[in-house]
């Protein structure tokens, strides 16, 4: 008896997996930890770029349209290559592909910061000396003050490095998109293959949470970094910054966040070089019967993996067209495209809108988005999924839930159009624009490119102290900072010369910031309720064998119809509201003054347009499902439940596809 027991024990020991499984690189839990950190680093770069886009625009004189092109250019490389992800699947060494993509993304983030190091110091227009004996930048009646810059000085300023900034940023964005291609799909499929059936949804839920909250960290980091002056690394301790953070010419250290994010990406990419191509399947704790059950019910082979590359490319358009003929799939994807376009535009330019409309700093605007809007949107996604699980909502119920959520979203978004003020009065700019000099400052020989806003004692803004006719300045005895400009000929108070304070007068809308943020956050919260039910509608309305292709088509439509054009569309709309452009060497730079009424109406009007489009698509999908349910009810007397039962996919497949699309 004892001999037989010893023999049995020795056989069991031989059948146990080798001790190498104890290595952390053979643990799916360690892979989930690494992948969560990598996704956080990847989305940190994406969120940080959007948080600093208005600062980059001001630093290098880009228009909003150029900024939109820059923000969306990472989708170019991603769109071209994402189709091949579903083909390669498990044919390649997925961890090493993920690590390689992360290294490329790290290089791209460093490339995004490179323009700061190849450019000269930031020279804001009309720098006024903080010396009592230097009156440059003020009105000088008796001397021929500085005329527009000479061709020689312009040639020096327009160096090759300055001209190459935009192409360099575009190349960085392109590489960032290419590097991000394998990270999300390969990581999720790897976890789903080697995690236990019980733990797989939990692991994928962790990644979904990181994916949702990652951009918020990018905006919060942007809020912190933009408090530092852009040339903090090029200044000595004796140098003083002549700008306050509230000055419209202030440029924060936009490049610093890219260096931090690139380092984070590099560190999180290294573990992937040591993970194996195939990992031992995780055993579920406390469930000894699961391995046998999994052996008895092996997953069906993926038909995509059995195709050659030529067969895959030939079959993709045919199956894509077949999928698009499904009316429910088409309507839901179009609704998601509308919402994605709205989110892409708002994420890129909402911080700039808050800066301009409510006279806030870039740092504060990013903190509002990263600390309020995005967390509430994540909460809405979670609650939407929990509501679906608790109520066991059907396909038709999902359509009703999406339609109701977007309808409520419209009701909270429309009042935003009314929360704002007109542009502050700027002499010679708004409400009456004059191309010639004012009579009161006509003898001051003010440079045409001057932009150093001052606020007169009469509440009217001027482009510079020179345009206000100011002859002298008052300095602080301790810090030598300019307190005010005096003897201003264009500012008349009680028949005597008035004075002007440095900086813009700003708008009278600061008190409207709180109700605006409340309604904006509420709109994000309500709209995000539709994400989970809309994804489940897609999973339940396509053939099981077409799911991978349907996801690929959805990715393509998202990028081609939403993420690529939307930021450019928003930026172009913003540019049409510019009253006066900045000038440098005879060329337009970034906009100095906007018509704030038009800015608000066109920017938030696009938001209302996209939300309304999503509502129409969801409503049509609900009507189609109701019509189909009535038709099925007449034929079989079973109502729409037959549709849900026939179209409901396997739970594992649905979970996997849902996490893939939620990226």
DSSP helix/strand/coil, 125: coil
Give the model's confidence band at 635: pLDDT under 50 very low, under 70 low, under 90 confident, else very high. Answer: low
Can you give the pLDDT at residue 551? Answer: 66
Whether 362 and 355 have beta carbons less than 8 Å apart is answered as yes
Can you give the pLDDT at residue 334? Answer: 92
Give the model's confidence band at 22: pLDDT under 50 very low, under 70 low, under 90 confident, else very high. Answer: low
The residue with greater pLDDT, 168 or 121, is 168
Answer whether residue 617 shows pLDDT above 90: yes
Q: Which residue has the tokens 């406390």?
A: 286
Can you give the pLDDT at residue 396? Answer: 85
Q: Where are the beta strands (DSSP E) in 163-275?
A: none
Estimate the share of the chain in helix, then strand, then coil, as percent rounded to the nearest 5.
65, 5, 30
Q: Which of 204, 549, 606 is nearest to 385 (CA)?
A: 204
Average pLDDT over residues 621-636: 77
Give the model's confidence band at 264: pLDDT under 50 very low, under 70 low, under 90 confident, else very high. Answer: very high
* 509-567 tens-digit pLDDT: 888 889 999 999 999 899 888 888 887 788 777 776 666 667 667 777 888 899 999 99
Give the model's confidence band at 108: pLDDT under 50 very low, under 70 low, under 90 confident, else very high. Answer: very high
Give the model's confidence band at 443: pLDDT under 50 very low, under 70 low, under 90 confident, else very high. Answer: confident
Q: Which of 190-199, 367-376, 433-442 has the lowest mean pLDDT?
A: 433-442
Average pLDDT, the chain: 78
Whether 240 and 229 have beta carbons less than 8 Å apart is answered as no
Using a 10 angstrom Cβ sphere, with 0-12 exposed, 13-18 middle and 19 or more buried, the burial of residue 144 is exposed
Average pLDDT over residues 346-371: 90
Q: Which residue has the tokens 């510079």?
A: 464
CA 597 to chain centre: 25
pTM for the whole thing? 0.82
- Residue 270 structure tokens: 């290294």
The residue with greater pLDDT, 615 or 88, is 615
Give the model's confidence band at 169: pLDDT under 50 very low, under 70 low, under 90 confident, else very high. Answer: very high
Which residues on adjacent β-strands are paired with residue 461? 426, 455
Sign of the dihedral through C-alpha 43, 46, 47, 49: positive
Alpha-carbon gap, residue 67 to 64, rounded angstroms? 5
The residue with greater pLDDT, 377 or 553, is 377
Can you give the pLDDT at residue 655? Answer: 45
Average pLDDT over residues 107-117: 92
Phi, psi (degrees; rounded to nearest 5) at 579: -90, -45
Average pLDDT over residues 299-314: 59
If one counts every other C-beta atom within 10 angstroms of the C-beta of residue 407, the result is 15
Phi, psi (degrees; rounded to nearest 5) at 128: -95, 125
Whether 67 and 239 have beta carbons less than 8 Å apart is answered as no
The residue with greater pLDDT, 32 or 4, is 32
Average pLDDT over residues 39-64: 90
Q: Which of 69, 80, 50, 70 is nearest to 178 (CA)?
A: 80
Alpha-carbon gap, residue 264 to 562, rounded angstroms? 29
DSSP helix/strand/coil, 405: helix
Side-chain half-sphere exposure of 578, counting CA atoms within 13 A: 17
The residue with greater pLDDT, 405 or 237, is 405
Whether 337 and 331 have beta carbons less than 8 Å apart is answered as no
Whether 507 and 430 have beta carbons less than 8 Å apart is answered as no
Can you give the pLDDT at residue 662? Answer: 41
Percent of the chain scoring above 90 in pLDDT: 21
Q: In what order do the strands lie in the sheet with 496-502?
A: 461-462, 454-456, 496-502, 482-493, 470-475
Answer whether residue 660 shows pLDDT above 50: no
* 117-136 tens-digit pLDDT: 888 888 776 555 555 545 56
Whether 196 and 282 have beta carbons less than 8 Å apart is answered as yes
Average pLDDT over residues 303-311: 61
Q: What is the CA radius of gyration of the chain?
A: 30
The residue with greater pLDDT, 337 or 420, is 337
Whether 47 and 29 have beta carbons less than 8 Å apart is answered as no
Can you give the pLDDT at residue 493? Answer: 64
* 570-584 tens-digit pLDDT: 999 999 999 888 887
Answer whether residue 417 shows pLDDT above 80: yes
* 447-465 tens-digit pLDDT: 777 888 888 888 888 888 8
Alpha-carbon gap, residue 226 to 230, rounded angstroms? 8
- Residue 374 structure tokens: 């995005």
Whether 381 and 209 have beta carbons less than 8 Å apart is answered as no
* 492-520 tens-digit pLDDT: 766 677 888 888 888 778 888 899 999 99
C-alpha distances in angstroms, 292 versus 295, 296, 298, 523?
5, 6, 10, 48
Answer whether residue 654 shows pLDDT above 60: no
Q: Which of 276, 257, 268 is nearest to 103 (CA)?
A: 268
Q: Which residue has the tokens 């699961």?
A: 290
Answer whether residue 610 shows pLDDT above 70: yes
- 454-456 and 496-502 as β-strands: parallel, antiparallel, unpaired? antiparallel
């Amino acid at each position: 008896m004892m001999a037989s027991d010893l023999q049995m024990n020795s056989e069991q020991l031989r059948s146990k997996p080798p001790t190498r499984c104890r290595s952390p690189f053979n643990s799916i839990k360690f892979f989930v930890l690494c992948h969560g950190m990598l996704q956080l680093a990847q989305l940190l770069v994406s969120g940080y770029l959007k948080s600093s886009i208005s600062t980059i625009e001001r630093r290098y004189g880009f228009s909003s349209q150029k900024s939109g092109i820059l923000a969306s250019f990472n989708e170019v490389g991603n769109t071209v290559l994402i189709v091949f992800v579903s083909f390669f699947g498990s044919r390649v060494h997925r961890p090493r592909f993920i690590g390689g993509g992360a290294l490329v993304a790290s290089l791209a983030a460093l490339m995004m910061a490179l323009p700061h190091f190849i450019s000269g110091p930031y020279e804001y227009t009309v720098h006024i000396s903080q010396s009592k004996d230097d009156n440059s930048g003020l009105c000088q009646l008796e001397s021929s003050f500085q005329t527009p810059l000479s061709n020689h000085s312009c040639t020096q300023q327009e160096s090759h490095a300055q001209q190459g900034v935009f192409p360099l940023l575009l190349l960085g964005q392109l590489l960032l998109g290419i590097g991000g291609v394998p990270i999300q799909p390969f990581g999720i499929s790897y976890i789903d293959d080697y995690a236990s059936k019980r733990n797989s949804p939990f692991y994928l839920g962790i990644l979904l949470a990181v994916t949702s909250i990652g951009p918020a960290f990018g905006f919060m980091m942007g809020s912190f970094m933009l408090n530092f002056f852009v040339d903090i690394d090029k200044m000595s301790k004796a140098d003083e910054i002549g700008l306050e953070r509230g000055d419209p010419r202030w440029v924060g250290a936009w490049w610093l966040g890219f260096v931090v994010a690139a380092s984070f990406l590099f560190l999180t990419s290294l573990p992937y070089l040591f993970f194996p191509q195939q990992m031992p399947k995780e055993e579920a704790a406390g469930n000894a019967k699961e391995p046998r059950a999994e052996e008895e019910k092996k997953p069906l082979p993926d038909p995509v993996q059995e195709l050659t590359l030529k067969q895959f490319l030939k079959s993709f358009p045919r199956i894509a067209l077949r999928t698009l003929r499904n009316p429910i799939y088409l309507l839901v994807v179009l609704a998601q495209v509308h919402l994605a376009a709205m989110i892409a535009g708002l994420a890129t330019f909402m911080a700039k809108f808050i800066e301009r409309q409510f006279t806030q700093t870039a740092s504060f605007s990013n903190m509002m988005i990263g600390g309020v809007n995005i967390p509430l949107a994540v909460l809405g996604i979670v609650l939407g999924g929990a509501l679906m699980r608790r109520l066991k909502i059907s396909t038709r119920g999902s359509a009703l839930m999406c339609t109701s959520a977007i309808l409520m979203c419209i009701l909270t978004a429309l009042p935003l159009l009314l929360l704002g003020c007109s542009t502050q009065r700027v002499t010679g700019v708004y409400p009456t624009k004059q191309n010639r000099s004012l009579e009161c400052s006509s003898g001051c020989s003010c440079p045409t490119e001057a932009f150093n806003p001052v606020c007169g004692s009469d509440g009217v803004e001027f482009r510079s102290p020179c345009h206000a006719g100011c002859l002298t300045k008052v300095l602080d005895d301790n810090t030598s900072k300019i307190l005010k400009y005096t003897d201003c000929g264009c500012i008349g108070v009680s028949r005597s010369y008035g004075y002007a304070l440095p900086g813009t007068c700003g708008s009278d809308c600061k008190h409207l910031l709180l109700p605006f943020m409340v309604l904006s956050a509420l709109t994000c919260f309500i709209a995000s309720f539709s994400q989970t039910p809309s994804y489940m509608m897609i999973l339940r309305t396509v053939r099981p064998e077409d799911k991978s292709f349907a996801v690929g088509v959805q990715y393509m439509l998202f990028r081609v119809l939403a993420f690529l054009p939307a930021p450019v569309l928003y930026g172009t709309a913003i540019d049409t509201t510019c009253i006066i452009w900045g000038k440098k060497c005879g060329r337009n730079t970034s906009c100095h003054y906007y018509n704030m009424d038009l800015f608000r109406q066109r920017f938030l009007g696009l938001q209302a347009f996209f939300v309304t489009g999503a509502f129409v698509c969801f409503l049509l999908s609900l009507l189609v499902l109701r019509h189909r349910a009535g038709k099925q009810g007449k034929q079989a007397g079973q109502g729409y439940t037959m549709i849900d039962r026939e179209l409901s996919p396997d739970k594992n497949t649905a979970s996997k596809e849902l996490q893939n699309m939620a990226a």
